[in-house]
Structure formats: C-alpha cells, structure tokens
Amino acid sequence: MDLLRRLGTSLDTPTIPWKSLVITFAVGQYAIESYLQYRQYQVLRRTTVPTQLQKEIDQETYDKSQAYGRAKSKFSAVSNIWAQIKNYVTIRYDVYPWLWAVTGSWLLCYAPSRFQGEITHSLLFGFTYSFAETLISIPFSYYHHFVLEEKFGFNKQTPALFLTDIGKSLGLSLAFGIPLGAAFLKIVQKTGDQFFLYLWLFTLVVQLFFVTIYPIVIVPIFNKLTPLPPGSLKERIDALAAKLKVPLSELQVIDGSKRSAHSNAYFTGLPWKKKIVIYDTLIEKSSEKEVEAILAHELGHWAKGHTTKLIGISSAHLFYVFALFSVFINNRSLYEAFGFYGEKPIVIGFILFNEVLSPTDSVVKLLMNVLTRKFEYEADAFSHSLGYATELSSSLIKLQIQNLSSMDADWMYSAYHYSHPILTERLKAVGWTSTEKVGGDAKATAGGSEKSPKQEL
C-alpha cells in the first residue's frame, strides 16, 4: 500500500503532459496496427494456393477467400481511421468534461435531489456516452452486415432483426449496467485506499454470475436454443463426454443461421455443469464424425484445464489493473490535463486511467495470443490422441472454406491479431496429408492413418 501511495504521489505532477502522451500513444498504436494491416493485405493479394492446401482448396474458392479477406481489410482500415479521428476529437477537444457538465445539468433540471449524487451522475454519463457510441457505430455495422457480408453470401439478418438486436443490447446494458456500475462506484467510495482489493473480489463474483446466466438468460434473448435431437450424433457426443468424464448437462443446437452462414461450436458452463452448443450450420455442413472431432477439440480445452488457467490469468491481470488504478484515482494533474478542475469523478478517473494504460494492452494481447495458440495446439493434439486426426483436419478445412477464412497470414500480423494458429500450421501439427479435395469423397491421411470421411447433411 505504501509503495502504491508513493508511486501515486510521484506521478501527480503538472510537468507530465498527460493529454499529449495519450494522443501520442494512440497515434503510435494506430501506426503500428496500420503497418501490420498493410503487411497482411500484401498476403491477401497472392494468387497461388498455399502448397499444403493445393489438394484441398480449388482456385475459385481460394480467390473468393482472398477477395473476402481484402474486403474485410479495407473495411477495417476505414473503421480504424474513423475510430482514430473520433478518439482524437474526444481527447483533444475535451468531450469528456463537456458531456459530464451536460449530464450534470440534466440531473439538476429533471431529477429529484436524492438522485443528484456522483453515482447517478456517473451512470447517466456512462449510458449517454454508450448510447452515442452505438448510434455512431450503426452505419458501420449496417455496412458490415448488409453490404460486405451480404456480398459474400454470409448475411442472413433482416433490417428488422438488426435493429431489434441493437435495442436488446441497449436494454441489457441498462439492466446489468445500472446495478453493477452503481456497485462498482459504491465500493470505491466506501472502502478507502484498499478499494482495489474489494473491487477485484466483486469482479470475480460478477464473472462467475455471468458464466452462470449467459447460456441460460442472455443467449436465448438473441437466439433460439433447442436440445440436440436423439440420434447417432447425440449418442456419439454423449459417449465421448462419458469417456472423458465430462460433467455434461446439456447438448443444444443454436439457430446461428438466422444471422449468418458462418459455423461454430462452443463449450460453456460451470466446472461441475457443462453445456455444449453447436451451430445448426455446422451440423448441416459437416459429417457427424467431423462434428465429433471438433467437439473433441473443445473438450480438450476442458481436459487440459485451459479455461481454468485463462480465468486465473485474467483474475491476476484484473488485480494488477485495479491496483494500478488506485495509483491514478486521485491524480489531480491527470484530471486537470483533460479538463476536470475542482472535481475528480471516479468514472472519469477510470476512463482516463485506461487511456494511459492502453499501450500495455497491446503487449498483454500479444502475450495472450502466444499462450492461446499453445492451448489450441494442445487441444488439437488431444483430439488427435482420441483418433480424430483425419476428421479434425477435414473439419478445419471445411470450416475454412465455408467461412472463407484467410488461408495464409503474414507472421507479424498473425502474431499480433490471431489467437489461433492459421490453418496450415494446425494441419502440419497433426500430420495431415491429402490426395483429394476434402469436399468430395476424399481419401486422406492424417497422423499416419487412412480414412474416407463421409459427408452427411
């Protein structure tokens, strides 16, 4: 505690140009990410299928995948430029103090006196800012779904569903944001210099709460979940879970096809009560054995304790963030640099602290990518050890084709942006070789075995 207090005192000096530093950090990060994006765009301009995929991916599919990648890259470049301009204007022209003053005047004019404290003011400020961000992002989101994704055959949304989703998201933000935001601020107000410890414990409880309610309450608001019908696929998955002693409580199918043609599956729930959710698009486009192989990979994450390890790392990182926040929460020079004189609102302090901390986020992201890539290789190896090398490989190739995912990547871009190894790296790791395209009656070998996966719709 004494160390944090001394550090806070040493950083509270008007000689530190906080606003200039934050703008410089933001511009520097944008420059680095733009350079990485440029490198990746050069890869997306290639016309030759990667050697390892030449027997699986035809030229037409590869060209379409490359075109999709370039379209997403261009969209990302425009979005990033807009985000950079918006961030610069917000910081340079003191949008935060202006919005704080405006929301404060609204409370004085329209709210009873008992609702005019810092907590109510902070919640109104946060919701107003979030609402404005949502409105500003609608044109970009609309273009992404109804132009870019539509062009390549992925969008299944209607404009009505698009707007309904926005409304539901705002409603959930209010329903959960108000009580959680109020609790966050109250903890900081009431627990003194040790607030970061209580805040950390509170956040751990909140995370456990959301892990519990997300599949039960939140997912059904946006998608329809139905039990996987009885049949050979259900029997296969139940047998696999029993073999691995997974506490599987539910097997469900999600109607992902109502929004997108992309495929996926995920494993969720508490350690003692797990649920597997499979996208209907995955079941439609893969054989039962391939779906089983994908789920064996997901169960590999559970068997290897990857989720628990990531939760532990996330918790440690949160503790570090909150402890460091205690250094900045009363930093008068930081508040004044951004236009706050005579008051130090907690929510503003947290926002400004995150602006200062943003350069370290990139480092954390890079390190986490290294770790999660390792976990992906381990989960693939786990599926391989259960005898699914061929099916896992063919399913990965099919997902790559169906989703038009990039077949190759620049190594620097991949290291910074990708939490998963690229397809060729994963195929090499499981020893995949092929004599014919996976989409047909492929005769392929993986890890030394030879099988013919059967496509079942």
Q: What is the pLDDT of residues 306-323, one digit of tens each?
A: 988 998 999 999 999 999
pLDDT, mean of residues 268-279: 81
The whole-angstrom separation of Cα 201 and Cα 444 is 51
Residue 387 φ/ψ region, left for φ over 0, alpha for ψ in the -120 to 50 degree band, beta for the rest: left
The 3-state DSSP composition of the chain as helix, strand, coil percent (nearest 5) reads 70, 5, 20
Nearest CA-CA partner of 32 in 359, 251, 311, 438: 359
Active-site residue set: 298, 380
Q: What is the pTM of this model?
A: 0.86
Helix, strand or coil, per DSSP, at residue 285: helix
Q: What is the pLDDT of residue 440?
A: 44
Q: What are the structure tokens assigned to 274, written together?
A: 């797990």
Helix, strand or coil, per DSSP, at residue 92: helix
Helix, strand or coil, per DSSP, at residue 434: strand
pLDDT digits (tens, 9 = 90+) for 93-144: 999 999 999 999 999 999 888 888 999 999 999 999 999 999 999 999 999 9
pLDDT of 168 above 90: yes
Largest CA distance in the chain: 76
pLDDT of 178 above 80: yes
Helix, strand or coil, per DSSP, at residue 17: coil
Q: What are the structure tokens assigned to 304, written together?
A: 């290897």
